[in-house]
Amino acid sequence: MANGLPANGIRGLVEDNNEELWVWTDGGLSVLAGDKFIGVPEAEGQPHGTVTSLTGSGGGVWVGTTTGVYSRWKGSWNGPTFAGLFQNEGVQFLAVRPGGALAVASKNVVAFEHVNGVIERLTVGMELPGSRIQVILEIRKAASGSEQTPACSVV
């Protein structure tokens, strides 16, 4: 494409703390460099697999893929994380919790990190009712200031 995007179908946009614009398209992940988009190659520590979700928080970028979750903070990639929790499923949804912690979901599992660093994993048909996760929503702090668990739609 003339603008450098790998596909016209845009699924998500996030601006990071370096004022770089990250674009998730049907063809993968790209970043705006000047007046052109450049595709993000699969390299050590950078997102691998098919991009399935994109979100941002506090100037950082979170990328969900079929191989796990990757984050970009202050110009550096980290990941994959949460990979072992979603064996053979890949990440489908991301949502940022109060304080910047991440909630991650596949079709059958949702995982989120508590303030104390403990990761909790909930499975459809066990801790969650229904047969599959439709979406997880970003939850802000309650008026009382207390943290809330991410909401998820399970059908």
* The pLDDT of residue 124: 82
* The pLDDT of residue 141: 47
Query: Is 107 domain-assigned?
Result: yes
Query: Is 4 domain-assigned?
Result: no
Query: Is 2 domain-assigned?
Result: no
Encoded tokens for 29 = 């992940």
* The pLDDT of residue 48: 83
User: What CATH number does residue 137 fall under?
Assistant: 2.130.10.10
Query: Is 150 domain-assigned?
Result: yes
Query: Is 5 domain-assigned?
Result: no
Query: Is 72 domain-assigned?
Result: yes
pLDDT digits (tens), the chain, 155 positions: 567 888 888 999 998 888 889 999 988 899 998 888 988 887 767 888 889 899 888 788 889 888 888 888 888 888 887 777 776 778 888 887 767 678 888 888 888 776 666 788 888 888 777 777 776 665 544 444 554 444 555 54
In terms of residue numbers, what domain contains 37? 10-154
* The pLDDT of residue 4: 80
Query: Is 25 domain-assigned?
Result: yes
- In the chain, the number of structural domains is 1
Long-range contacts of 62-67 (CB under 8 A, 24+ apart): 62/94, 62/96, 62/102, 63/24, 63/29, 64/90, 64/91, 64/92, 64/93, 64/94, 64/104, 65/90, 65/91, 66/90, 66/91
SS3 call for 31: strand
Query: Is 137 domain-assigned?
Result: yes
DSSP string, 76-87: EEEEEESGGGGT
**Cβ(39)–Cβ(30) below 8 Å:** yes
Which residue type, as a one-letter code, is found at position 9?
A: G
- Cα angle 129, 102, 60 (rounded to 5 degrees) comes to 150
